[in-house]
Structure 1
Amino acid sequence: MGSLYCIFARAADRAVIFRRGPTHQVRLISWNMKDNSFEPGQWFNGRIYERKSDLSPDGTKLVYFAAKHEPPIPTWVAVSSPPFLTAHLLWPKSGTYDGPSLFESANVLGLGVYSSDSDLTPRTGDQAPPGFSVVARPYLGYFYRREDHDRMVRDDWSVFAGEPKYRSDSDEAPVLYRKKIDSQFAMEMRAFNRVTHYGVRDANGNLIALNADWADTRGGRMYFSRDNKLFQMEIGTADPVEIGDFTDMRFEEIAAPDWAKSW
């Protein structure tokens, strides 16, 4: 059984879906949120750290952290055009300790690096387009706090209780995030180390559990995933509506089309 994890473009009705599973396999899927249509893309035989990844404001570029843990490049950060993973820019890494990379704007990428003086040069032959720049996002203890914290806060989640830190012990108190749905309801996320619980909190303080693998809200709507299916739900409606079922997908080699091979 796999799971879904999604990232919204903050200035467009676009999103990407990481369809994970079986173990060490993940597929990238583009999601048009205007009409809830989907474009399945490439598979990756390895690990993508989706919480260290980000989508450009217009949704046309993805920065992701990937790992195969084998030579010649054990881990790397790359920029691609969803739903494909073919790298336009790639930075080789040797481990997984660097923090997340984030698009600071449409034309500026904050690259997760160990220190402010780390080399920002991509692999030989890769070149960013004119007007696009890369700046350092130093380590700053990201190994000891949630990898997606900065992206979540940027995208209107706030810490309601607890500390947004990495938890080595599941008995530690979770960090509680909330994001406003409308004037009466808020999305809630209780995050431990690798276990996250999502729910909806009403104005009276009642919590409705979503039993979801991932959840977020936009435009007064709730979106969540469960068992490789994606759902949409309106406040005040009784039942969620299934908008995507990605259960039956199986790994296959898919070549990127020409438009996705270069910036």
Structure 2
Amino acid sequence: MSTTAFPARLHVLLARDAPVGVVIRRGPSKATALIGWNRENDTFALGQWLRGRIYERRSDLSPDGRHLIYFAMNGRWASATRGSWTAISRAPYLKALTLYAKGDGWNGGGLFRDAQRYWLNEGCYVHTLQSDEARLQRVDDAHRPHGECPTVYYERLARDGWIAAEPRPDGYGGRILPLDKPLSARWILRKYTHATPYAGPGRGCYFDTHELVDRRDGTALLRDHWEWADVVDGRLVWASGGCLLAADVAPDGSIGDERLLHDFNPLQFEAVRAPY
């Protein structure tokens, strides 16, 4: 029986106040790597691998780029983490400074309110604190909703400048939420966040597609193959086919030629020790 090989899946977390980011690379499905991105010179450095899943839409990078909060699962239910956990680490590594054991797949992860404070996505599905060495303050927003990937992800997108429109049904029992971010005087970058029971081959129930919308006449250039995209340091950057690509935006608003920043497909699992 033949099998279909999919390229590495990429999602990117950006620091708001520092020129750094973290690339979350998944593939094969039970292996995930974190890679640090120096946006000043577009260099990339491997952090650590996990034999398991990191839920990128429930994860966040601190504004100064120093810390990462993430929700992960490896299914080792008899371990100290109870098979799933929320951790705060030094980006781009996974070794936990603050560790909350979870034991299930409900909620988990969180968001940084600023460089020193974080919110834990918990609600009635509680964590158990195992260690707390990050020296960061947990803040509880009693009236803020807790939930699965969209709850955390939509708030992160709004915080980072995406403007949401009204959600619409996708025809499969799920929904699509369109969000816009200005790219230039001419173009708008539009992100469609999908939450659906039918995603098709190679996609989970949560995934994104994109369009470039011309402000002059509303013409949309469909970019279904962009699984992540954002306006980064004044340029357009996107992930497709296991690669991170970019295009400059000219003063007249036009978009330049695409160029490859990095191909993450050749990476293979290796044991890496965090330097702390």
**Alignment TM-score, normalising by the size of structure 1:** 0.87
Which structure exhibits the higher relative contact order, with contacts defined as CA atoms closer than 8 Å and separated by 6 or more residues?
Answer: 1
Residues 1:136 and 2:150 aligned together = no
In 1, are the aligned partners of 2:107 and 2:149 still within 8 Å (CA)?
no
Alignment partner, residue 213 of structure 2 = 201
The verdict on how the C-alpha distance between 1:243 and 1:144 changes in structure 2, with shifts beyond 3 A counting, is closer
CA distance in 2, matches of 1:63, 1:153: 18
The verdict on how the C-alpha distance between 1:79 and 1:197 changes in structure 2, with shifts beyond 3 A counting, is same
Identity across aligned pairs (percent)? 28
In 1, are the aligned partners of 2:59 and 2:68 still within 8 Å (CA)?
yes
Alpha-carbon distance, 1:184 to partner: 2.3
Residues 1:114 and 2:132 aligned together = no
Alpha-carbon distance, 1:208 to partner: 1.6
The verdict on how the C-alpha distance between 1:251 and 1:145 changes in structure 2, with shifts beyond 3 A counting, is closer
In 2, are the aligned partners of 1:101 and 1:137 still within 8 Å (CA)?
no
Alignment partner, residue 247 of structure 2 = 233
Q: Which structure 1 residue ranges, 5 or more long, are not aligned?
A: none
**Alignment TM-score, normalising by the size of structure 2:** 0.83
Alignment partner, residue 83 of structure 1 = 92
Runs of 4 or more, structure 1, over 4 Å off, are none
Residues 1:190 and 2:192 aligned together = yes
1:215 pairs with one of 229, 248, 262: 229
In 1, are the aligned partners of 2:226 and 2:240 still within 8 Å (CA)?
yes
The residue identity in structure 2 corresponding to 1:91 is: Y
1:55 pairs with one of 61, 80, 84: 61
In 1, are the aligned partners of 2:89 and 2:134 still within 8 Å (CA)?
no
> What secondary structure is seen at the aligned counterpart in 2 of 1:174?
strand
**What is the alpha-carbon root mean square deviation over aligned residues?**
2.3
Alignment partner, residue 96 of structure 1 = 105
CA distance in 2, matches of 1:134, 1:87: 15
- 216-225 vs 29-38, greater mean Cα deviation: 216-225
Q: How does 1:19-34 map to 2 (within 5 A)?
A: 19-34=25-40
Cα deviations across residues 20-67 of structure 1 (Å, max 9, x unaligned)? 101111100000111111111110000100100000001011000011
Cα deviations across residues 142-170 of structure 1 (Å, max 9, x unaligned)? 2384541000000001112316xxx8963
The verdict on how the C-alpha distance between 1:195 and 1:134 changes in structure 2, with shifts beyond 3 A counting, is closer
The residue identity in structure 1 corresponding to 2:161 is: D
In 2, are the aligned partners of 1:213 and 1:225 still within 8 Å (CA)?
yes
Alpha-carbon distance, 1:173 to partner: 4.8
> What secondary structure is seen at the aligned counterpart in 2 of 1:136?
coil
- 144-153 vs 102-111, greater mean Cα deviation: 144-153
